[in-house]
Amino acid sequence: MISVAALQDKTEIRRRLESDRAWALYALADLDDGMFEHCSWWSAGSTGLALVFHALPIRPIFVTGTPEETRALLAALAAALPEGGYLNLREEMLPLAAPLWTYSERHRMRRTMLGASYTPSPRAGLAQPLGPADQPEIEDLYASGTGAGIAFGGSQLESGLFRGIREDSTGALIAVAGIHVASEAESVAGVGNVFVRADKRGQGLGQTVLSAVVDAVRARGIGTIGLNVEVSNLPAIAAYHRLGFETRFHYFEGPSLPIALVFCN
């Protein structure tokens, strides 16, 4: 039987994450000071690792390891988190979670990574930096679309890596993109939070504003850049592929509860 234990040693956490940087992209960024304090980490066996990130209301949960280690971690998390969280699982992990966790809403996602074929948008000058003062406008823009900005937090704007496009006639914000996480120390960034106002779609604005974010991230020397997209969002997938993002794998994410709690209710 594999035992599960709390883990706080950054060096050991990093060792376990480095075996699959594409999958561990977000977790690696959480090693930074200011992020690490919001994390709970658990180890299992020689490679297994779980993370619960407490700074977002959705409470993201990340798991990696062998099937046996993953099963042990998921069982331990089910006992430790009766309130559940936003569970992220590779496709092959789903059967391991089925006896322990249930999704109330499940999204099948692609993890795409920026490749060598990246081509910056020729219209990148349209996008302007956004900062904390722009948070109300950004939140209003996300609020105009169902499910938009679910992983947005105002603290992300402090990175200086958000970009937006404004309407010429009114100055209203019509497109935004930024980062979920970014770490210069770990050389990783999860870009995203891409949204274009409904009446302005189909003009390439999403691709343009995302390109401006990628350029800003690369200018800081960050080499591993990933982007998540729902598999059903074919227009976005096509746009991201045109920029040079390549699909690495599929995974599932969504709000989840331990099955024992569901049965008790």
- Kindly state whether residue 15 falls inside one of the protein's structural domains: yes
**What average pLDDT does this structure show over 78-100?**
96
Residues forming beta bridges with residue 60, ordered by sequence position: 86
Residue 234, pLDDT above cutoff 80: yes
- Kindly state whether residue 113 falls inside one of the protein's structural domains: no
CB 162 within 8 A of CB 128: no
CB 84 within 8 A of CB 258: yes
pLDDT tens readout for residues 158-187: 999 999 999 999 999 999 999 999 999 999
- Within this chain, do residues 45 and 129 fall inside the same structural domain, yes or no? no
- Kindly state whether residue 58 falls inside one of the protein's structural domains: yes
- Kindly state whether residue 24 falls inside one of the protein's structural domains: yes
- Kindly state whether residue 71 falls inside one of the protein's structural domains: yes
| 55 against 67, higher pLDDT | 67
CB 172 within 8 A of CB 196: no
SS3 203: coil
For the entire predicted model, the pTM comes to 0.89
Domain that holds residue 174: 118-243
- Within this chain, do residues 164 and 124 fall inside the same structural domain, yes or no? yes
Number of domains in the chain: 2
pLDDT tens readout for residues 182-223: 999 999 999 999 999 999 998 999 999 999 999 999 999 999
CA nearest 26: which of 182, 198, 210, 212?
Answer: 182
